[in-house]
Structures are given as structure tokens and as C-alpha cells.
Structure 1
Amino acid sequence: MVAQERSGYTLKGNPITLVGPELKAGDKAPDFKLNKDLMTQVSLSDYAGKVKLISVVPSLDTGVCDAQTRRFNEEAANLGDDVVILTVSVDLPFAQARWCGAAGVDKVVTLSDYKDRSFGTAYGVFIKELALDMRAIFVVDKNDTISYVEYLSEMTEHPNYEQAVAAAKQLIG
């Protein structure tokens, strides 16, 4: 089966192609295998019973990705133990750990899609031309149903932090 390709997305105004489905609120969240460190993989079921705010960034070592991850780290304190914030990038787990240590980020869980980019293609964020994952936000309820999605049309723009956090807060309880 050939993966679906989607256009209408840009990086600094230049067209890029996303590979995978365009997920919508109400869809079942696709399972994933992401690396927590070089040897440890996790899947959606590792976060069972929690609301999951999944923040996808191309690389933590860029300005908007840095700001996005720091912002969700701050928001995590207000969301409580029923919510887990997962930051997904294709950065190697070593780079993610180094960045988090340097940035003082300790409330979000960084996960790497470096091995086979399967998260990117399952969630429709894999950028064909760059082999990176496109900036996006997914809020997934405790039953693994997506309740909120934001695909950024321009990679260098910030997501709507307030809407993403509000969507997660609505699911707590």
C-alpha cells in the first residue's frame, strides 16, 4: 500500500509534502513505536489511562521547536498527573536528553521517531523532502480517541498553545 501524500504545507514559503493520513478529531489514535532512549521503545499503550498531549516538532535545536517545548513544559505543571505531554521529534534520544538538560525541561517526555519514522507516517506528519516530522499537535483522550488536532501549514509558525491546553483540560476528570 502506498502512503498518502498531502500538499498545502510549507517551510519558509517553500512547498513540502506530508506523508500519511490527515487525522481528525474523533479518529482513533494510531499506535506508535518511539524511542525513549536508544534501547527503550514505547507505544501508545504505555500511556494508557492518561490524556496525551502530543507535541510534534521537527528538531528541538530550532527556535520555534525550542519555544514550543519550553511552553508545554510550563503548561504541564497546571495540567496535573492525568495528562502526559509527549514531545516527538526525529532528534536522536541523546540530543533530546542533552537539550532537555540544558533547557531545564523536566515535565514533558521527549520521544524520538529517528529509527523508522513510523510515527510520522502514522500521524501524517512525515515530511517527504526532509525526513523530519512536521510541527503538529494532537490531544488524545484516555480511551485513545483524538479530540484535538492542529497541523501547521507553515513549519516555522507556532501552534495554538491555548487551544491545545484547553482541549487537554476538557478531558481531565
Structure 2
Amino acid sequence: MATFKGNPITLQGTAVQVGQTAPDFQVLANDLSPVTRDTYQGVRIISVVPSIDTGVCDAQTRKFNEEAATIEGVTVMTVSNDLPFAQRRWCASSGLDQVVTLSDHRDLSFGTQYGVAIEELRLLARSVFVLDSNNEITYVEYLEESTDEVNFEAALAAAREAK
């Protein structure tokens, strides 16, 4: 059972698994342009956070971007339901210029395709996915408690191994 701050939540959509082809999705970039699974090529870490403006989400976004910068050919995409304007503001104030923040607020396309849309809150449950250059899912982590931290080392190792 999934929880958010200890309270049970209902996740909408279908959970994905290692080995399957990553479902396509459409989210919005900070300039409101559409972004899909295939907008970025190569290995992708998709870091999903409930809100970029919280301490755990901020730390997750920073850590993945700092660590992944050392892995050639890897793009980190941070997806949340924050508005693109709030994401752009966070990027400007964070001092991180390589962060790709994407908003699923409009359609919940990512959230339902990956089984992380929280019905009760219209947020996304904290999770991590690694896609290889052929769009195969090579790593999946769904957290039971959305306020816990993800396993950075395992996700980064999966990204290093993916081709």
C-alpha cells in the first residue's frame, strides 16, 4: 500500500516493470512546449517528485543532477505536477543550469502511464525510472511512502549500465 505522510493514497494508472518498453507520455517544459518520452535520446533517469518546492524533492533533484553529470550521455528529467512557471522559478533560484524539469499538471499523462498519479492529491508519487536508449525500462523504484528518499545509488548504477 502506498502512503503520503503516513496516509493511504490511491495511485492511478498502471505500474511499469523492468524489461518492458517505456510508455510514451506528454508533459510540458518550462516554456510550455510539449515533451515526450522521445524528446531526449540516450539513457534517461526520470526522477518523479510530488513538488519541487519541498525539501526532499529539492534534494532529490539536486542529487540526481549533480551525480548524473558525471555519467556521459545521461539526461535527468524531473517530473512533477508543479506548474511550469513554478518549476522555472525553482530552476532559476537553485543555481542548477542543467536541470530538466517537466510538468505533468495539465494531463497527468506521465502519472497515469507510469502508475504514479495520486488520486487524492493530484500529485505524483515519488519514484524513479531509468530508460535505455531503446526505451527499455532498466530500473524502477516505487516508494511505499512518498516522503521517503529514493535509492540514489541503485538508480545511478542502473543508468551507468544502461546503453
- Same fold by TM-score greater than 0.5: yes
Decide which of 84, 90, 110 is 1:119's aligned counterpart: 110
Listed one character per residue, the Cα deviations across residues 45-87 of structure 1 (whole Å, up to 9, x for unaligned) are 2123x1010000010011110110010121122112x111000
Decide which of 87, 90, 94 is 1:99's aligned counterpart: 90
1:47 aligned counterpart, secondary structure? coil
Determine the C-alpha separation between the residues in 1 that align with 2:140 and 2:16: 7
Determine the C-alpha separation between the residues in 1 that align with 2:159 and 2:31: 29
Determine the C-alpha separation between the residues in 1 that align with 2:48 and 2:132: 17
2:38 aligned counterpart, secondary structure? helix
Q: 1:41 — aligned with what?
A: 34
Percent of residue pairs bearing the same amino acid type: 56
Q: 1:136 — aligned with what?
A: 127
Determine the C-alpha separation between the residues in 1 that align with 2:5 and 2:34: 33
1:101 deviation in Å? 1.2
Determine whether 1:28 maps to 2:18: no
User: Number of residues paired by the alignment?
Assistant: 163
Determine whether 1:72 maps to 2:64: yes
Determine the C-alpha separation between the residues in 1 that align with 2:155 and 2:94: 22
- Report the RMSD for the aligned CA atoms in angstroms: 1.0
Determine the C-alpha separation between the residues in 1 that align with 2:40 and 2:89: 24
Q: 1:108 — aligned with what?
A: 99
Determine whether 1:51 maps to 2:43: yes
Whether the 8 Å contact between 1:141 and 1:147 is mirrored in structure 2 is: yes
Determine whether 1:13 maps to 2:6: yes
Tell me the amino acid that sits aligned with residue 113 of structure 1: D
Decide which of 90, 98, 101 is 2:81's aligned counterpart: 90
TM-score (norm 2): 0.97
Determine the C-alpha separation between the residues in 2 that align with 1:123 and 1:106: 27
Listed one character per residue, the Cα deviations across residues 123-160 of structure 1 (whole Å, up to 9, x for unaligned) are 10000000111100000010001000000110110000
Unaligned runs of 5+ in 1: 1-7
Determine the C-alpha separation between the residues in 2 that align with 1:39 and 1:68: 23
